[in-house]
Copies of this chain bind each other. A is one copy, B any other.
């Protein structure tokens, strides 16, 4: 078997929200590089592997990306089966692209295994139909956190008519609110705030664009959290038993 690396999605938190393929790949891994937000329970699938924790949580001290990439390369060149286990889906704000491209440049084959991304888990756990006909033209996943501090075209996002699912948005709630209001989104647009989706301690609160700052404070919203912005967010929690069922 040629040396290669797998970029594997660990899902949103619930250790059962990982794919069969991810479990199979983990079971063959020699080395597993694990991100911060990955549930440690998942490591039960790879008791044979050497585990390296390489968290890079926003704003905290972290393992530099370049160092992680060198580690991937080093172990792959040793002929090891290397797994990079990432929260959510590797293709959604997971830097899988950078890592895969870098490995390809160095002649290392790379496979990607999808995971459940946090934004979709937040919707499912609280019964929010992200693409409900008549209310949403589709769904846009975006992040409030950018390296250079630049902003997306908020008026265009508003006019797109898609449900907006915002990742890593807790720290910049006030900016998001004012930019969306300035972009033409109505103050009474529903906003669902979902904290730690799919974990036993998950919580959600239904707010609106105009009130979301005050409500986030009252609710003591903390990262990691997802904001779902758009008419469909009004469905948040209407399936009152969904979260309970999901925990069974």
Contacts and interface: CB of A to CB of B under 8 A. Distances in A.
Given A17-B19, A19-B11, A162 B142 contact: yes
Nearest to A139: B141
Given A21-B16, A91-B124, A142-B162, A100 B129 contact: yes
Interface stretch (A50-58, A71-79, A151-159, A208-216): A151-159
A142 to B, nearest CB: 3
A132 to B, nearest CB: 4
A35 interface: no
A239 B90 CA distance: 15
Contact of A245 (B109, B131, B133): B109
A19 B21 contact: no
A123 interface: yes
A138 interface: yes
Interface in A92-141: 92-98, 100-101, 104, 109-117, 120-121, 123-125, 127-133, 137-141
Contact of A97 (B19, B132, B241): B132
Number of this chain's copies in the assembly equals 2
Interface string A221-244: 000000000001001001101100
A111 B64 CA distance: 39
Complex A-B, nearest 10 residue pairs according to Cβ-Cβ distance, in ascending order? A97-B129, A138-B142, A156-B159, A111-B245, A16-B21, A109-B241, A112-B124, A137-B152, A140-B140, A97-B132
Nearest to A93: B131
* Interface residue tally on A, bucketed by range: 35 or more
Given A92-B120, A113-B124, A116-B116, 18 more contacts: A4-B245, A15-B20, A16-B20, A19-B20, A20-B20, A91-B128, A95-B129, A97-B130, A97-B235, A100-B129, A114-B124, A131-B143, A137-B152, A139-B140, A140-B160, A153-B160, A155-B156, A157-B160
A101 B96 CA distance: 36
A204 interface: no
A60 to B, nearest CB: 19
Contacts of A127: 97, 100, 104, 110, 112
A14 interface: yes
28 contacts: A4-B241, A14-B21, A16-B21, A16-B24, A18-B19, A19-B20, A20-B20, A20-B23, A89-B120, A90-B124, A91-B130, A95-B129, A96-B124, A98-B133, A100-B242, A104-B238, A104-B239, A114-B121, A131-B141, A137-B142, A137-B153, A138-B143, A139-B140, A139-B141, A155-B156, A156-B157, A156-B161, A157-B160
